[in-house]
Amino acid sequence: MTEKNVSENFITQIIDADLASGKHAQVHTRFPPEPNGFLHVGHVKSICLNFGLAEDYQGQCNLRFDDTNPDKESVEYAQAIQKDVEWLGFKWSDKVLYTSDNFDQLYGYAEELINKGLAFVDEQSPEQIRETRGDFTTPGTNSPFRDRPSEESLDFFRRMRAGEFADGAMVLRAKIDMQSGNLNMRDPIIYRIKRQHHIRTGDKWCIYPMYDFSHCISDALEGITHSVCTLEFADHKPLYDWVLDNITIDCHPQQIEFNRLNQTFTITSKRKLNELVEQGVVDGWDDPRMPTVSGMRRRGYTPTSIREYAKKSTVTKKPSIIPMSMLEDCVRQELNASSPRIMGVLNPLKLVIENYPEGQSEMITAKNHPMDESFGTRELPFGRELYIEADDYKEGANRKFFRFTEGREVRLRYAYYLTCQRAIKDENGNVIELRCTYDPETKGGSSPDGRKVKGTIHWVSAQHADDVELRLYDRLFNVVSPKGMDDLNPESLLVLNNAKLEPGIIEHSNDVQYQFERMGYFYRDKTHETDKPIFNRIVNLRDSWAKQEQQ
């Protein structure tokens, strides 16, 4: 049985009932982003839910761009969104669709509402419309133009389309109920004048439909069965149904709302994310600290781990906040099984084995994955001079420190037992080199006399190591519910320019996630390299933020 993309929830129960009753013969969903920015983690749940439902029920899912606000939209954003959806592993039905494909039909339906006396052209200013709309405690006031004859509104609407009036001079409003407790039903605007070049229709139109009018009709024209959206659209559902109930159209999709993905330590406001980009806090929308899909891709997250995260994010009618650690755990779980192990030294300290013959080297056999023999083995060069992590040495350490200190024996991973004899310091008292001896009888990491050592550390051959740059990324914000710039994590990026990597990795590192033993998971950032290879840390081996998330 094929594993489901979407765990059972109230939406799958609705779909099951619809299919069982014969209401629908096939499931048809859609993902309708506006091409005005990059997709982020908040979109991921909706993507995985809409496309996942279609896959699980052998149905269809459309990718439709809501391109009704031309001053903020671009072809580049549309292309980036398509790339993200494809990278996540989803395919849309047939071609990419656009709301602008339906502009002529949408205009026709607007005229139909006018002819039915259900829409009128309002010449009030935007400020007047806002004032007369009322609020949650005050009912709205009818526009003085609400009862103008349909023929007159139709004439004005056609002249709006012809470009006779200035932007903002008038709008087309649906005639519903200014006394409604739902503000969305108080004669909402459904068309406005907006002279703005459109990414697909050019300058053909100077009036554009509002989302609440165009979205439901586009759903119906495409034969969508279940219009799945987030909870903020629940108050818009009566308007969704009103439009479809009052025009001549055969299909009436069912709008179903679910809780959006809100994540700790994360901001998903496009305005605030754009501020980070424009002020140079991050180096673009694909900065690995950004919550964008492109940022996660560049950092080294995998599509399957992100999809698993979305699957674990419970689909309910109640708002919720998901711990970022859940996403990181999904990434770790996959990479733990799929990532080959290698050795890389982040902060190198030179180590010299005094009793190892000068000019001699040998090959050490290392496992590519300690828990999966199918990964095979590799050969690592070993010699007199090595690099280890600087913090694997501590002067005068107590018995609870199991790494190098004077007189203590430590195991080198896959190699030998070494004993630290002394540390060499510079004029400032900084340790710059360790002098050790090794036991040649312990090759492979065990002693023939049965003696045990508690510490095992990684290493690379100084003669053969490759120089690499490592970028240690952490969370962009250091509070659970960040508001903006004041909550930035000053340690969200640490660049290490002097890291060392075992040989033979760089030429085979494209699109491979590695575990640097003891150090975390890393991914090569080849498109942003200059003079040396760059590896981004994807995630630590363990979560270091759990306590803060639980507070």
* Domain at 266, CATH number: 1.10.1160.10
Is 453 among the domain residues? Answer: yes
Query: In the prediction, which pLDDT does 551 show?
Result: 44
CA distance 214 to 239: 11
Is 30 among the domain residues? Answer: no
- Percent of the chain at pLDDT > 90 equals 94
CA distance 372 to 381: 23
Is 219 among the domain residues? Answer: no
Q: How many domains does the chain have?
A: 3
Q: Is 192's pLDDT higher than 70?
A: yes
Is 472 among the domain residues? Answer: yes
Q: Which residues does residue 7 pair with via DSSP β-bridges, in sequence order?
A: none
Q: Do both 303 and 351 map to the same domain?
A: no
Instruction: Please identify, among 458, 481, 502, the residue that sits at the C-terminal boundary of a domain.
Output: 458
Q: Directed axis angle between helix 41-56 and helix 10-21, to 10°?
A: 30
CB-based contacts of 162: which residues, under 8 Å, 6+ apart?
Answer: none
Q: Is 307's pLDDT higher than 60?
A: yes
Q: Which residues are the active-site residues?
A: 34, 260, 270
How confident is the model over 17-43, as pLDDT tens digits?
A: 999 999 999 999 999 999 998 999 999
Cβ(300)–Cβ(521) under 8 Å? yes
Q: What is the CATH number of the domain that holds 141?
A: 3.90.800.10
CB-based contacts of 451: which residues, under 8 Å, 6+ apart?
Answer: none
| Domain that residue 146 falls in | 116-209
Is 50 among the domain residues? Answer: no
Q: Could you give the C-alpha distances from 279 to 16, 271, 275, 485, 518, in angstroms and in order?
A: 49, 12, 6, 10, 35
Is 72 among the domain residues? Answer: no
Query: In the prediction, which pLDDT does 381 show?
Result: 98
**Strands of 57-112, DSSP E:** 60-65, 97-98
Is 31 among the domain residues? Answer: no
Q: Do both 337 and 361 map to the same domain?
A: no
Instruction: Cite the DSSP H helix spans in 246-299.
Output: 270-278, 293-299
Q: What is the CATH number of the domain that holds 417?
A: 2.40.240.10
Q: Do both 355 and 378 map to the same domain?
A: yes
CA distance 197 to 509: 44
How confident is the model over 382-413, as pLDDT tens digits?
A: 999 999 999 999 999 998 999 999 999 999 99
How confident is the model over 223-267, as pLDDT tens digits?
A: 999 999 999 999 999 999 999 999 999 999 999 999 999 999 999
Q: Do both 320 and 367 map to the same domain?
A: no
How confident is the model over 491-505, as pLDDT tens digits?
A: 999 999 999 999 999
Q: Is 428's pLDDT higher than 90?
A: yes
CA distance 182 to 184: 5
Q: Is 467's pLDDT higher than 90?
A: yes
Q: Do both 326 and 386 map to the same domain?
A: no
465 alpha-carbon distance from chain centroid: 34
Q: Is 546's pLDDT higher than 70?
A: no
Q: Do both 396 and 294 map to the same domain?
A: no
Q: Do both 137 and 195 map to the same domain?
A: yes
The helix (H) or strand (E) run that includes residue 159 is helix 150-162
Q: Could you give the C-alpha distances from 395 to 200, 246, 304, in angstroms and in order?
A: 68, 81, 44
Nearest to 69 by CA among 29, 36, 40: 36
Q: Do both 140 and 280 map to the same domain?
A: no
CA distance 59 to 391: 55
C-alpha distance across the termini of the chain, in Å: 41
Q: Token pair of 205, please?
A: 């139109």
Number of neighbouring beta carbons within 10 Å of residue 388: 25
Instruction: Please identify, among 393, 423, 458, the residue that sits at the C-terminal boundary of a domain.
Output: 458
Is 101 among the domain residues? Answer: no
Q: Do both 370 and 315 map to the same domain?
A: no
